[in-house]
Chain A
């Protein structure tokens, strides 16, 4: 999570949607593709999420290392599934028959479908979460939770987590530099080196995080956090006609996923 993945602006339609509704949307999309793991369905939803990035002017920069890593990782997931799935009609062999040798590593239609399904689901979960964080104002999200009678102590845990994500990201980079300055190379060769790498990374990060937690809790207590069971809000989330319309669409999506899973929509499931 980088700094630019967080937003407190209210520009696009997605920014203006009710924060709880956006969270519900994230949960519904994730649940939908888990219960109905069709690659076409995942691909359609991924297309809508990428459209969401464009509508809300949130950059999805493929040149960034982290985004590149996600795409490469999803490609690896695809390749792994294709290689590991032997069921289905064989399309071709990766290593064709040569003389009396082979052929080896068959690629089947079922394997390709499974691979697509896995990698698209992975991208969908990650990208939809990134979009949610990018277009959701944590303070307004905390306020919207109060409408569901969720105590503000819990909803603020989320606000604080989002507030500290960029900071921990920066600290992680600093610790990496500090390791290099002491001659410590990240190594995963052998259990003792793995353990040492983990220790040399997590000790400083953990201690730094804990010291910040202490300071933060004093700062919050020192400003009356928890003084009473309710609190007021300078900025409040709102619910309007657009939110209602999106709620209807999301409910329809959830219902469709359930019906598709149960096999009640055979014509539709033949397409997606």
Chain B
């Protein structure tokens, strides 16, 4: 059993992130920990994996026990032999260029003999259903494949306990179902598994127990979810003789020889909120960038509010569209939260009548009003994402294009982003959000565009599209949506 006793931790010696936490992770069991952003879930995982207090600084009290033995004096490499941590972003954890090298990396460090390493590489990749990837370059893998390779690389060290921090965050429904299968297999093989998850629906079907971490304290999860997401979307009626805000006419785009978007034609009208769905690598993010005028199509043309995107300056783009990228760090430019919020007013000179108090009002709604003087890069992932949304929508451009905005968001973050999108739809604008979550699509959106290999496969009202997906072999979208 892996356990922590009376663990308290503070990064800055002021704010207590963990407050006398007790937790046991048993072999053959899947334990799930949920809780709001910044509640200390990832910190708890770092304690369980031994990184705190060994490599991460802060004030630590309490103890870590592995199979009843106090690990206080054990070095990290010894703890890592028994406890493996898979962090949130698989991309950042891969250290080599070949899948088999990556999986072999751990055993090599422990000076395991090459013949045994080869055996472990095969067994580990097989356990995550990825033996066929052994000779593939790591940079050419999809998000789901990277996730599974990262898990395999931890398994190759033959640990007893596996800790996973938001393993489903960037996975499509198919990837989530595969992950569930993989984790169930590990559980049956006797691994003790701890999963940290915001999207409980993805892990609930296989969880043995669910705990909640809030304000540094751990408690049993009550089973209640926020009702905001279950409100069905209002039926959208397109007014007659209204021009579309976004138009794509026969748009294609390639990265070198790889075709990412193929012959896409669509129109989005004022008032519409569209869910852009599809498996990892189906071209959703590329299409968003094309519609925003950030990429120029190799074939075809896109129009934003009637203007060809390829004729727009950066200022034209910013005045008309709010884009939220997947990684919040990529679109933070200023030194304080307040300056970031005001950036658009410094850059765009003619924004029309915008009340001077609006930037602060939006910050307040985003729950960031008290952090105005903070450096935005010091915020948590969830807070950064909310700052992204508030700073790109503060001048209320006509179109919102959000790429997976709900990743890593707790209820507060989800509600803020949901309300921001809804408001835009109601006030005559339009929004497209990339999501894998069918529950979000049905509750927030009036239309789903489903992409397959760069092309639009289905386009219509959420219920009809999900029902059709069920019929044509994408049942996982409907299944996971139903349990959300």
- Hey, which bits of chain A sit against chain B, CB under 8 A? 3-4, 6, 8, 137-139, 156, 159-160, 162-163, 166-167, 171, 174-175, 177-185, 199-200, 203-204, 207-208, 211-212, 215-228, 230-236
**Interface segment out of the listed B132-140, B223-231, B412-420, B471-479:** B132-140
Give chain A residues whose Cβ lies under 8 Å from the Cβ of B347. 182-184
Main secondary structure of the interface of A (DSSP, over half): helix
Chain A residue at minimum C-beta to C-beta distance from B135: A8
**Interface segment out of the listed B21-29, B98-106, B209-217, B261-269:** B98-106
Contact A182 B331 (CB under 8 A): yes
Give chain A residues whose Cβ lies under 8 Å from the Cβ of B322. 181
**Interface segment out of the listed B31-39, B197-205, B288-296, B353-361:** B288-296
Bound CA span A160–B105, Å: 12
Contact A179 B110 (CB under 8 A): no
Contact B97 A224 (CB under 8 A): no
Give chain B residues whose Cβ lies under 8 Å from the Cβ of A8. 97-98, 137
Bound CA span A167–B392, Å: 25
Partner pick for A223 among B157, B325, B331, B343, CB 8 A cutoff: B157
Q: Which of B75-127 contact A (CB under 8 A)?
A: 76-77, 80-81, 84-85, 87-89, 91-98, 100-101, 104-114, 117-118, 121
Partner pick for B314 among A137, A185, A222, A236, CB 8 A cutoff: A185
Give chain B residues whose Cβ lies under 8 Å from the Cβ of A222. 49, 51, 76, 80, 84-85, 154
Give chain A residues whose Cβ lies under 8 Å from the Cβ of B139. 3, 6, 163, 166-167
Give chain A residues whose Cβ lies under 8 Å from the Cβ of B108. 231-234
A-B contact count (CB 8 A): 196
Contact B114 A171 (CB under 8 A): no
Give chain A residues whose Cβ lies under 8 Å from the Cβ of B327. 171, 174, 208
Main secondary structure of the interface of B (DSSP, over half): helix
Give chain A residues whose Cβ lies under 8 Å from the Cβ of B256. 4
Chain B residue at minimum C-beta to C-beta distance from A212: B92
Minimum CB–CB distance from A107 to chain B (whole Å) comes to 40
Contact B95 A163 (CB under 8 A): yes
Does B364 interact with chain A (Cβ within 8 Å)? no
Chain A residue at minimum C-beta to C-beta distance from B326: A174
Contact A178 B77 (CB under 8 A): no
Bound CA span A218–B95, Å: 11
Contact A218 B55 (CB under 8 A): yes
Does B377 interact with chain A (Cβ within 8 Å)? yes
Give chain B residues whose Cβ lies under 8 Å from the Cβ of A166. 139
Q: Which of B316-368 contact A (CB under 8 A)?
A: 317-319, 321-323, 325, 327, 329-333, 343-344, 347-348
- Given A207-B377, A212-B92, A223-B154, decide whether A228 and B111 contact each other with a Cβ distance below 8 A: yes
- Given A3-B140, A223-B109, A232-B111, decide whether A218 and B331 contact each other with a Cβ distance below 8 A: no
Task: List 18 additional A-B contacts (Cβ < 8 Å) besides A163-B96, A183-B348.
Answer: A159-B95, A162-B97, A177-B295, A181-B292, A182-B347, A184-B347, A215-B88, A215-B93, A218-B85, A219-B150, A222-B76, A225-B105, A227-B110, A228-B109, A231-B108, A231-B109, A232-B108, A236-B114
Chain B residue at minimum C-beta to C-beta distance from A160: B95
Does B280 interact with chain A (Cβ within 8 Å)? no
Give chain B residues whose Cβ lies under 8 Å from the Cβ of A224. 77, 80-81, 106, 109-110, 157
Which 3 pairs between the two chains have the least Cβ-Cβ distance?
A183-B318, A223-B106, A215-B92
Interface-central residue, A6, A8, A224, A231, by most chain B CB under 10 Å: A224
Bound CA span A199–B88, Å: 28
Contact A199 B333 (CB under 8 A): yes
Give chain B residues whose Cβ lies under 8 Å from the Cβ of A137. 97-98
Minimum CB–CB distance from A66 to chain B (whole Å) comes to 12
Bound CA span A72–B347, Å: 33
Chain A residue at minimum C-beta to C-beta distance from B255: A3
Contact B392 A181 (CB under 8 A): yes
Contact B114 A233 (CB under 8 A): yes
